[in-house]
Structure 1
């Protein structure tokens, strides 16, 4: 088989990889995306795009259908606290719908998407080699448990307080114009409206309990769902916290969850992935991959500090019980935190 030479190979065809390919193709690079899974790639996630993430998507000309929401509501038993976004709405978008919209945009931009797995990676000062492809650069956007990150020896062990997520959809009309976060002593659930007749419910916990067992810890949410029929299979992810020693190894760059992830607590995953994709392609266009390492630190600083602090602060049951009462007593603090997270990454 003859050797093919391209500018950029992207490992992973989820949102991070597709947005990377879209930026690269529009910058004039010859780019391919390799994704081993067929069809629209689904995963366990909250599916809510904060206003900053949605704005970034719309700037790319990608406007997937979904269900808009106006803010975040914390719920604990009969008590609740809400904060509205000050600058635009967020949008709940099924991951498969987002994948299809991004794939169409990537193909229209001239990039290629293939159902293939990136195998052994070798590189020198000029190119990255895998199978019969020679690429000037490789961007790994292959998820939390990135095979490329592991193969390059960039994994950093993380055994402290592992957290796991499970998600399922229910055929019921959204009852709230907010993404609701339901708190219990050992679990929280994120309820995201994704269509006029559909909500997604993602539950996070440090315990490896079943999805139903986690929902049972939130009787108020159980009652709200009532007899609604499940509209998807349960999908899981975790441990959520992943760390990499670096995001750049020669001509290989890590984007999205592959580059490190703290937790879904603040809902910034897609916004971070989109900002990293833009920064990574910008660094490659000027042949300065190390610039991306510096940009990654800057872009993720707020997320890493805030999410780490919230995880530490909500680890005890007493602290978790105090979250909603504190948000009610200090609404300006809650509002400020929500709108800080809602703005575009890097601003």
Structure 2
């Protein structure tokens, strides 16, 4: 019987497995998708997350960015990072780096699905493998979370994300966030000749139709060749009643998700994965829920507060003007998150 079975080889699952192996635990990963796994995301990784991945021995290549810029039709405001630059990294590049590290540590990755889960007082069995613990890192719409009845139905209007890459030299060393009545468009430099554009909105429509709501960005992209197909993700908001069920613990997007507004999904996944491994080492799974809440609360609070304001018709148009009037406050919030 192994110490830890990890369901999912995305950033949360791979980081959990790597940290567990480095801690001396026996670990196996189950992942039905072929590598490298792609996903619609903003692809900007905060300095704290890149630094943590470096400590795990994950070697990343990408394009540095040095802060966040908010823009609407009449305002623009920058917040420069104080701790260090973030890194724009293609999701497939990140996945290759994680897969390489799993291979270096001889962590088995089995190409199968987790179906029925059975538990005893001392073990959990899934995908034909028995372990002391199971880390469920199977994504935003986690089948394991659903199987264990840990999800909570949401009542709010769902927001979704669409992402596409364009062959164009990045025009800025910041991640730009364009705001409009439709939603937000994030531009992340991911290579010397490539930017990723992710649009978050509750409106229905195509990527191109949504891009019309951001005329300044559309002008920037005029003549640029799309480099990848459009990928979508959502609904983004995932409410979870708890992250522990016996010997199963949820991590990453499977553990619950507020929104992609602040772009801190990977950083939170890494911090909470470290807590999961600590609880496995201590043989105290019941402590994981409180640990998860402790290390993620700040990001959840700030993201939830910004999303609440975004969803108020009177407040939403004032977000970027307020940031422009109070750049010090805006910069402090951005740096607190990163």
Structure 2 counterpart of 1:127: 123
Matched, 1:118 2:114: yes
Match of 2:5 among 6, 9, 13: 9
**Equivalent position of 2:175 in the other structure:** 179
Q: Secondary structure at the match of 1:204?
A: strand
Structure 1 position 95, deviation (Å): 0.6
Superimposed CA distance per residue, residues 165-195 of structure 1 (whole angstroms, 9 cap, x where no aligned partner): 0001001111001000000012110100000
Q: Say yes or no: does 1:308 pair with 2:336.
A: no
Check whether the contact 1:25–1:110 (CA below 8 A) recurs between aligned residues.
no
Moved more, 114-123 or 317-326: 317-326
Say whether the 8 Å CA contact 2:113–2:127 is kept in structure 1. Answer: no
Give secondary structure in 2 for the equivalent of 1:175. coil
> 1:80-133 deviations in whole A, cap 9, x for unaligned?
100100111000000110011011111212211121101100001011112431
Q: CA deviation at 1:78?
A: 4.7
- In structure 2, the residue matched to 1:330 is 326
- Distance in 1 of aligned mates of 2:127 and 2:325: 59
Aligned pairs for 1:1-347 (under 5 A) are 5-342=1-338
Gaps of 5+ in 1: 343-347
Instruction: Check conservation: 1:140, 1:254, Cα contact below 8 A.
Output: yes
Q: Report SS of the residue matched to 2:315.
A: helix
2:149 and 2:85 map into 1 onto residues whose CA distance is 40
Q: How far 1:50 moved relative to its partner?
A: 1.3
User: Match of 2:223, SS?
Assistant: coil
CA deviation digits over 1:256-308, x for unaligned, max 9? 00000000011110000001111101100110011111100101111221111
What's the counterpart of residue 345 of structure 1?
A: none
Separation (CA, whole Å) in 1 of partners of 2:336 and 2:210: 29
Structure 1 residue 37 displacement after superposition: 0.8
Is residue 35–residue 95 contact of structure 2 (8 Å, CA) maintained in 1? no
Q: Is the 8 A contact 1:42 1:95 kept in 2?
A: yes
The Cα shift of 1:56 comes to 1.2
Gap change, CA 1:131 and 1:113, over 3 Å in 2: closer
Instruction: Give per-residue Cα distances to partners, 1:7-29, cap 9 Å, x unaligned.
Output: 21111110100000001111111
> Scaled by the length of structure 1, what TM-score is found?
0.95
Q: What is the rounded CA distance, in whole Å, between the counterparts of 1:213 and 1:131 in structure 2?
A: 42
Deviations 1:237-261 (A, max 9, x none): 1110001111010000000000000
Distance 1:34 1:131, change over 3 A: closer
Counterpart CA distance in 1 for 2:55 and 2:130 is: 31
In structure 2, C-alpha distance between the alignment counterparts of 1:216 and 1:226, rounded to whole Å: 12
User: How many Å separate the matches in 2 of 1:100 and 1:175?
Assistant: 27
Alpha-carbon separation, structure 2, partners of 1:221 and 1:38: 34
- 1:318 is displaced (CA, Å) by 4.0
Q: What is the deviation of 1:209?
A: 1.6
CA distance in 1, matches of 2:171, 2:284: 49
